[in-house]
Copies of this chain bind each other. A is one copy, B any other.
């Protein structure tokens, strides 16, 4: 894991070099904070991590700058999670299957090798795939049950009226 973090740091350095951008302590600190995350996060959360765990104070604008760079470098990805904008660490565009409940907004990540293989074997002209993200919309068991109960109740009410 430390190796992976190290490699991600080098990827950032390389990206900055290639783009003729400066390798500042702030930018390295933003990446270090990202490496400490586990799951999706907001710029605000990231700033808190930098301040509390790394004792590194930065202004909000610098966090946005850093996240933008990391996005360009392919080290983080901007995502929509139950309607909210979040970022998440992404390792070599590691791909995910995400089940989202459209009722309560709960999110579960799962794996499925046949689906993964099928997606990755997809070849598109004029497009070089780097990674992917599959979001499945539906109902979790709790909400599914709750909705069924609600409908039964309403149907009964209708019946009673007649």
The answer to whether the Cβ of A129 comes within 8 Å of any Cβ in the partner chain is yes
Q: Is the CB of B74 within 8 A of A154?
A: no
Closest to A129 in B: B138
Contact partner, A18, options B77, B135, B154, Cβ 8 Å = B154
What number of copies of this chain does the assembly contain? Answer: 2
On chain B, the residues within 8 Å of A132 by CB distance are: 134-137
Chain A's interface size range is 35 or more
Contact partner, A122, options B77, B108, B115, B128, Cβ 8 Å = B115
The answer to whether the Cβ of A139 comes within 8 Å of any Cβ in the partner chain is yes
Q: Is the CB of B18 within 8 A of A137?
A: no
Task: Give the Cβ gap from A162 to chain B, nearest Cβ, in Å.
Answer: 16
Q: Is the CB of A127 within 8 A of B115?
A: no
Q: Is the CB of B128 within 8 A of A139?
A: yes
Query: Which residues of A from 103 to 157 have beta carbons under 8 Å from B?
Result: 103, 108, 110, 112, 114-115, 118-119, 122, 124, 126-141, 144, 150-151, 154
On chain B, the residues within 8 Å of A102 by CB distance are: 71-72, 74, 130
Closest to A134 in B: B134
On chain B, the residues within 8 Å of A77 by CB distance are: 137
Instruction: Across the A-B interface, give the 8 residue pairs with the lowest CB-CB distance, nearest first.
Output: A80-B80, A126-B141, A118-B118, A130-B138, A129-B138, A132-B136, A78-B83, A128-B139
